[in-house]
Amino acid sequence: MKTIKDSVHDHIEVGGVARDLLDTPAVQRLRHIVQLGTSSLVYPSANHTRFEHSLGVYHLACEALDHLGVAGRNAKRVKAAALLHDVGHGPFSHNLEPLTHRRTGKYHDDVHELFERGEVGAVLREHDLSPARVADLVAGDGKYGQVVSGELDVDRMDYLVRDAHHTGVPYGTIDHGRLVRELTFDEDDDLVLDEGNVQTAESLLVARALMIPTVYNHHVTRISKTMLRRAAERLLESTDVDAEELRRMDDPGFLVALRETPETESFARRFDERDLHKRALWAELDDTPESLLDLAHEDVRGYELEIAERAGVPEADVVLDVPGEPEMTESSTRVLVNGDARVLHEQSPLVDALRAANRAQWRLGVYAPAEDTEAVGTAAADVLGLDLDGALVSEVRSGLQETLGSFSGEDA
Amino acid sequence: MKTIKDSVHDHIEVGGVARDLLDTPAVQRLRHIVQLGTSSLVYPSANHTRFEHSLGVYHLACEALDHLGVAGRNAKRVKAAALLHDVGHGPFSHNLEPLTHRRTGKYHDDVHELFERGEVGAVLREHDLSPARVADLVAGDGKYGQVVSGELDVDRMDYLVRDAHHTGVPYGTIDHGRLVRELTFDEDDDLVLDEGNVQTAESLLVARALMIPTVYNHHVTRISKTMLRRAAERLLESTDVDAEELRRMDDPGFLVALRETPETESFARRFDERDLHKRALWAELDDTPESLLDLAHEDVRGYELEIAERAGVPEADVVLDVPGEPEMTESSTRVLVNGDARVLHEQSPLVDALRAANRAQWRLGVYAPAEDTEAVGTAAADVLGLDLDGALVSEVRSGLQETLGSFSGEDA
Amino acid sequence: MKTIKDSVHDHIEVGGVARDLLDTPAVQRLRHIVQLGTSSLVYPSANHTRFEHSLGVYHLACEALDHLGVAGRNAKRVKAAALLHDVGHGPFSHNLEPLTHRRTGKYHDDVHELFERGEVGAVLREHDLSPARVADLVAGDGKYGQVVSGELDVDRMDYLVRDAHHTGVPYGTIDHGRLVRELTFDEDDDLVLDEGNVQTAESLLVARALMIPTVYNHHVTRISKTMLRRAAERLLESTDVDAEELRRMDDPGFLVALRETPETESFARRFDERDLHKRALWAELDDTPESLLDLAHEDVRGYELEIAERAGVPEADVVLDVPGEPEMTESSTRVLVNGDARVLHEQSPLVDALRAANRAQWRLGVYAPAEDTEAVGTAAADVLGLDLDGALVSEVRSGLQETLGSFSGEDA
Amino acid sequence: MKTIKDSVHDHIEVGGVARDLLDTPAVQRLRHIVQLGTSSLVYPSANHTRFEHSLGVYHLACEALDHLGVAGRNAKRVKAAALLHDVGHGPFSHNLEPLTHRRTGKYHDDVHELFERGEVGAVLREHDLSPARVADLVAGDGKYGQVVSGELDVDRMDYLVRDAHHTGVPYGTIDHGRLVRELTFDEDDDLVLDEGNVQTAESLLVARALMIPTVYNHHVTRISKTMLRRAAERLLESTDVDAEELRRMDDPGFLVALRETPETESFARRFDERDLHKRALWAELDDTPESLLDLAHEDVRGYELEIAERAGVPEADVVLDVPGEPEMTESSTRVLVNGDARVLHEQSPLVDALRAANRAQWRLGVYAPAEDTEAVGTAAADVLGLDLDGALVSEVRSGLQETLGSFSGEDA
């Protein structure tokens, strides 16, 4: 048993297969991938990594398994999956997923491959575990997969408290000790919260609902991560780096690649000096033409070019950001109520309200250097066909200001 | 300047009128009144007092005034009011309010009188402050009264974090540093949150909405405080202690009075040994006959007697608890949105949802010794005319169990 | 299993004999005994009780037993002892020990008797445990008694962190998670810290060495607890309360007894209003005549009378405080070094230094109302035969001021 | 005023010259330099950066100036110096100082130059501040320089609490709120702690004395940073990177340079995969020949070559680590005692004890791959002329094991 000190869970004891996995390059690599992508540009203390998060998820998995009474090979498999669940991440975590994980935009596609090969595969096999079955757990498959990936998974329990601890934003401070204690399997082998835990479920939902606008979707985070993504696209286009190679980079490798590539070096400077674009347009997505909501990569590029041209600015200075429709996984959390597993959104009026609140914060953004926001905003409204009822773009912007919500560690 | 160490706000600097007020018997008395009444029977660490809370409210008032740019005599008055706002409390804080504060059940009636007389009045006058005007602030009157008592007052900011810190329940951990920074007065002199703070307002609302069922209205807290209240009634009836004298007691004085009075000594034993009643009936108040919702003191007594008789148990063993309709003050918090002060419930879908959730937890309770719950429950359903559609009382109880929600430090 | 929420250790799981003991009057009584006696007069948030501390000690005992690999009846016995270790305390914890626990001044004398009788004895026997053997553990006897009472006991681990948490003074924040993990038994069945833990042992020593002057022996704490003790003496003299009855009181009972007894009521007022005596004399004990160091109770009284007379003040206004020589139990902590258990003071130069520092803070105090300190100080120096080399008493006081050290939440 | 959220100090308000400095490339660069060099290899959560630390130091400087009553240009200068004090750091903070900061090994030499030029110089001049005078403050010169760099500087107050927060090791948790409140200038313009603060000064000393072996000099930290330094030396030798260019790199730039340089790529792999050397020899430096204590860079290299040859292993596999004699700056902290400023080591027996403890932990290390430690250890003892009294090297190692002290997040 190895004891590791963690700033969130204090002492974490690592043994068995987890201890061997810890020393694999694939897991050690996570030391160089920040948990929250570009969020440290808003919250300067948020420099925690996927490595410490993975340890935390492993730790909570052990506690959950203990309370669920799961032992033996099933437990071993879940523990391995918990420690490994993020090894598929590319640099800056989720920020570049659309580029590194083709097709679905979800990284779990690649997990099977990663688990089979190299030292990870070897360690798993040494401990008599099937890489494929462990990978299935990471994808949330099967009875025990729910512990690793699902509405009540230990992943979200760790990241909420950890992100709260490191950003300094208290909203994510859930009662994870209670959550792992109240997990149980219902008669259909669904992972549910035990009787008397409607509020416990609500508190998890609420924590994420408050963290989303304040941390995860803070507008400066959105600006910086969209800029980062554009830079990564240029890197893929102008060098022989491909999606697979990009995914295998860590943060330092990716940053230096941007600095050393002529086509991305000006972005790298902007990122390094925190000289970020500002919002030129910030429009409610409910008012947005349907056609914008599901843009292919090429189309985004097309719009950016057109806006840049109309505004008379260099192409690189226009960044269009159309996020997907907000989801709220936790709304399908199941809780036992008088012996029946009920889905939270049937039980709690909060679910719909939080979903509505979340959806109301859904915004399309167009970003540009500070001095060009006026020109780019007007051009963008035009090109994107936003019917602003004759309102000036600046009014659109200010009119929506309140939903920026959100405290800024530091404004862009 | 005197510096006082506080477990929540670290160093609190007390000067001027506050320093002199601190040494008055009325303020020192608050050391012997617990903040959360009987909650320590559920959360054993929750032994914090009104004294440290008053210091905390004073501290946040100083910070808020600083950020609001209020100085001079107005600030001095608010600081005095902040430190003094709870001196009117009787033993066990709000638990006995209906008995100690006639008519309205609100303690602010007596505040004027308390501020005029004794050392408090003397200190205020020495510092050139009018006791009456300070008392007005405690009642929330006037522009500056909003800082002390209103939807955005520093009282609630302190108690939420302090109660979270001492119970160990994290839900109350609001970002008070942000809240005091974002306060401003709008053009009508209303205290509002500045632009971009809809989420900040929501977070305050959510914190309280989660603390209510988990801490403030935990069923064991409700049982014990209703029992305490019944005991206090017996004390008033059977001794020459009157409401005014009761109000002036502190916790030790009240506890010992219960122990030493024959009519209340058995309650005192129950309280001291945590041998509390259990729920015999626990019914949704929406299903309850209108007539029960606004019971006078005498009527409650009448029902208890009738239930006891029908169940064949001693009168003292039946306790009826009909709480008033839940309020949600924070729903009228105002936030600036594009320069207009908007009321939160117009702006946020969360307000209605939280209000609905809160109302759905509204329960009528009948409590009795464990061995009598069956008999008392049946009798109570009968006497109170609850139409249970033929369901057994025990089913009513279990059928509503999930809404008890709420973690129990310790179950009754 | 019952889960209890604690502000220090979060979730504490209580089962088996501990769960049954929890509901005994003897344990519930600890809810009404504060952990730190009069310290809340210095640190207003320090209102934590012996009840929550006992739960914490129980919790750490469970963890320590787990890491030590102790199970079965031995473990059960230690757990019971951990939860019960403080039931012998009188009101205000250690403050009144010299009065309530005759002869040795240690409360362990009475523990055997307490464990045999009443519900505690019954519960222990029900669980097949011998009350006498559990009481032996509380006294630190035998191999497993060291876990409950010794240099490395879980009692001190809990109180250091808990007192730090509630006073707000960070010095006590030891790494208890590491300490319980590093405990082991050496070949002589001595409880020791494992290899590589000299620093761990030092950190425990240092934590207590810093907490002593700052919290435990803060001069205002000393003044108030000595005054409290004098008041308790008057109570014993002037009423039919005897030492045994005093010991069985809880804080509210004792406070109200002081208020209601004519001979102690003026003290009670001083205590309630925090109108405490001030230091009239504060002398290094190393300079003090040998004869003063081991005063019998009667002698203290004699000196007080003589000083009062000479100073021309009422007897009750002079309080003489001669604390025993400071001990440092932790200095005999044993740590494995290359396989040998070595005593810390042989291994670490810190031990002697801390002992010297502690001893240098050793002071004799004479306290009196603020307006009489000059007269009383002069009289006391005279009566006690302190050779002050012609220095004025006030100089003695100021000359020693720095060693008061210690932050004051609030000065007397 | 910009408000920045910090995980240690909560809200930090940045205005005036500090706000403008914040946006300079020199300050933003600190986002990419970790505070504790390689310590995250022991404590995985310790990923905090020099950027957030600089904000923290600025914040405490503002508080200290406030309590000292310093305003105007003097305050402005100190605030600028506080924010800028670390801009001279090279990658991995102090780890590479001997290479990047020639001659003295102290980085302050370069600070003047850095402050004069570029945006930093421009901003300072815009705000009417002389870069040279601000740089003097960073070097600790003059009355106000003591606030930035000295025994009582705000730098150490921030790093102790911040390092404790992020490593999870509680020993550094000092009471910074008290420290900044108790600062004052004595009549010689020396920065001292006010009366009654001997313990406060001791607590600062103790915090650092416990953090040194546990965190700063943990043996795995020492191994990894010495390896890092060797790699940096190879980089300087085998590429056209010079000391100045190395200093200007940030962590990602340096790491990638190591990965991309053939001569250092195997080290980079070891570092990335945490495949570190182990101790082959670990000898008390007091027993070490005088000649080893002040080795020039070239001499170290010579010894390594000779040991490698004798042990029959590649040169790169032997790393010799001879740290300088431990210092204890805090021992000259001054505290007012009865109006005189006394130096702490005259006043407190702790100083000498801590210095002795620290010196007793002083070790010479020789590191090698796990499989070569036996051979390398024997060879090293021989080559270095360590008189081991015939003891085997492995015994020397184990014989000194206890002084490794220190918890390991993760052992090498």
Q: What is the per-residue pLDDT for D406?
A: 36
pLDDT band for position A67 (cuts 50, 70, 90): very high
Q: What is the pLDDT of residues C88-98, one digit of tens each?
A: 999 998 888 87
Instruction: Give the best residue of D13, D181, D182 to mutate against chain B (max B CB count within 10 A).
Output: D181
Pairing of strands C278-284, C363-368: antiparallel
Cβ contacts of A397-402, under 8 Å, gap ≥ 24: A397/A279, A397/A281, A397/A282, A398/B338, A399/B338, A400/A282, A400/A283, A400/A284, A400/A363, A401/B195, A401/B196, A401/B338, A402/B195, A402/B196, A402/B197, A402/B198, A402/B335, A402/B336, A402/B337, A402/B338, A402/B347
Q: Among the listed ranges A386-395, B50-59, C130-139, which one has the minimum average pLDDT value? A: A386-395
Do residues D368 and D317 touch, judged by C-beta distance below 8 A? Answer: yes
Count Cβ atoms below 10 Å from residue A199 Cβ, excluding itself: 27
Q: Find chain C residues with C-beta within 8 A of A11's C-beta.
A: 177-178, 181
D11 CB neighbours in chain B (<8 A) are 177-178, 181
How many CB atoms within 10 Å of residue B263?
A: 14
Q: At A390, which amino acid appears? A: G
Quote the percentage of chain B above a pLDDT of 70.
91
Q: Give B381→chain A minimum CA distance, Å.
A: 21
Mean pLDDT of all residues in B83-105:
80
Chain C: give the shortest CA distance to residue A21, in Å.
Answer: 23
- How would residue A196 be classed by pLDDT, with cut points 50, 70 and 90? confident
Cβ contact (<8 Å) for D199 and C178? no
| CATH of A1-168 given 1.10.10.60, 1.10.10.10, 1.10.150.120, 1.10.3210.10 | 1.10.3210.10
* For residue C240, pLDDT beyond 60: yes
Say if the Cβ atoms of D181 and B10 lie within 8 Å.
no
Rg of chain A (C-alpha set)? 22
CB contact under 8 A, C357 and D338: no
Higher-pLDDT residue of B288, C18 = C18
List the Cα angle C296/C297/C303 in 5-degree steps.
Answer: 90
412 residues of chain D, pLDDT tens digit each: 899 999 999 999 999 999 999 999 999 999 999 999 999 999 999 999 999 999 999 999 999 999 999 999 999 999 999 999 999 999 998 888 878 765 444 555 678 889 998 999 999 999 999 999 999 999 999 999 999 999 999 999 999 999 999 999 999 989 999 999 999 999 999 999 998 898 899 999 999 999 999 999 999 999 999 999 999 999 999 999 999 899 999 999 999 999 999 999 999 999 999 999 999 998 877 666 777 777 777 788 899 999 999 999 998 899 999 888 787 777 889 999 888 999 998 888 888 888 888 888 888 899 999 999 999 999 998 998 876 654 445 445 443 433 333 334 555 4
How far is B274 from B295, CA to CA, in rounded Å?
28
pLDDT digit string, tens, across residues B149-182 = 999 999 999 999 999 999 999 999 899 999 999 9
Report the residue of D2, D3, D7, D92 to disrupt the A interface, i.e. the one with the largest count of A CBs within 10 Å.
Answer: D7
State the Cα–Cα distance between residues B162 and B168, nearest whole angstrom.
10
Spell out which residues of chain D touch residue B178, defining contact as CB-CB under 8 Å.
Answer: 11
Nearest C-alpha neighbor of D409 from the set A247, C67, B353, A14 = A14
Evaluate whether D33 touches D49 at the Cβ level (below 8 Å): yes
**8 Å CB contact of D357 and C206:** no
Closest CA to B410 of C10, C80, C2, C30: C2
pLDDT band, very low/low/confident/very high, at B399 (cuts 50, 70, 90) = very low
**pTM passes above 0.90:** yes
Of the ranges B35-39, B397-401, D81-85, which one carries the lowest mean pLDDT score?
B397-401
How far is it, in rounded angstroms, from Cα C37 to Cα C251? 9
With an 8 Å Cβ cutoff, are A203 and B195 in contact? no
- The pLDDT, as a whole number, for residue D109 is 60
* Chain-centre distance for alpha carbon C201: 21
The D-side interface with C (CB below 8 A) comprises 169-171, 173-175, 178, 195-200, 202-203, 206, 210, 213-214, 335-338, 347-350, 352-354, 356-357, 360, 398-399, 401-407
The model's confidence at residue B81, banded by pLDDT at 50, 70 and 90, is very high
- Contact yes or no for D402 and C335 at CB 8 A: yes
Tracing tokens 């959220």 back to the chain, one arrives at D5
Best residue in C28, C41, C45 to probe B by mutation, most B CBs within 10 Å?
Answer: C45
Instruction: Give contacts of B177 with chain D, Cβ < 8 Å.
Output: 10-11
**What 3-state DSSP class applies to B411?**
coil
What are the C-alpha distances in Å from C195 to residues A176, A379, C187, C341, D400?
34, 70, 14, 9, 11
Q: What is the pLDDT of residue D258?
A: 98
What are the φ and ψ backbone dihedral angles of D338, each rounded to 5 degrees? Answer: 55, 40
Q: Do C181 and A10 touch (CB under 8 A)?
A: no
User: According to the CATH classification, is domain C1-168+225-275 in 1.10.3210.10?
Assistant: yes
Q: How far is CA A3 from CA A10, A19, A55, C177, D164, in A?
A: 10, 10, 11, 11, 18
Residues of D whose CB is below 8 A from A33 = none
Mutation target for D interface from A1, A5, A30, A50: give the one with most D CBs within 10 A. A5
Check CB contact under 8 Å for A349 and B335: no
A75-92 pLDDT tens trace: 999 999 999 999 999 999
Measure in Å the smallest separation between the Cα of A68 and chain C Cα atoms.
14
- pLDDT at C70 (0 to 100): 97
> Would you place residue A191 in the very low, low, confident or very high pLDDT band (cuts 50, 70, 90)?
very high
Burial of B242 (0-12, 13-18, 19+ CB in 10 A): exposed
Say which of C23, C46, C165 has its CB closest to residue B274: C23
Residue C298 banded pLDDT, cuts 50, 70, 90: confident
pLDDT at C180 over 70: yes
C-beta of residue B276 within 8 angstroms of C-beta of residue B412? yes
SS3 of residue B234 by DSSP? helix
Average pLDDT over residues A280-308: 81
Q: Do A4 and D410 touch (CB under 8 A)?
A: yes
CB contacts < 8 A (A, B)? 104
Please, are residues C251 and C96 in contact by the beta-carbon 8 Å criterion? no
Per the structure block, which two tokens stand in for A21? Answer: 């996995």
Query: Got the DSSP string for B393-410?
Result: HHHHHHHTHHHH-S--SS
Q: Do A256 and D253 touch (CB under 8 A)?
A: yes
pLDDT of residue A101: 67
Using CA atoms, how far apart are residues C104 and C111, in angstroms rounded to an integer? 13
Chain B interface mutation, best of A192, A199, A202, A411, highest count of B Cβ atoms under 10 Å? A199
Domain ranges of chain D: 2-168, 277-326+361-412
Tens digit of each residue's pLDDT (9 = 90 or more) over B187-204:
999 999 999 898 899 999
Which of A199, A399, A404 lies closest to B405 in CB terms?
A: A199
Is residue B244 within a helix (H) or strand (E), and if so which, with residue range? Answer: helix B243-248
Q: Give D181→chain B minimum CA distance, Å.
A: 9
Q: What is the CA radius of gyration of chain D?
A: 22
Chain A residues with beta carbon closer than 8 angstroms to that of C178:
11
- Tell me the percentage of chain A whose pLDDT exceeds 70: 91
Q: Give Rg (Cα) of chain C.
A: 22
Which residues in C57-95 are b (16+ Cβ under 10 Å) and which e?
A: bbbbbbbbbeebebeeebbbbbbbbbbbbbbbbbbbbbb
ipTM: 0.93
Say whether pLDDT at A261 is over 50: yes
With contact defined as 3+ CB pairs under 8 Å, the chains touching B are A, C, D
SS (H, E, C) A324-338: CCCCCHHHHCEEEEC
> Which residue in chain B has the smallest CA separation from C55?
B44
The answer as to CATH 1.10.3210.10 being correct for domain D2-168 is: yes
Q: Where are the alpha helices (DSSP H) in A239-294?
A: 243-248, 251-260, 265-272
- The overall average pLDDT reported for chain D is 89
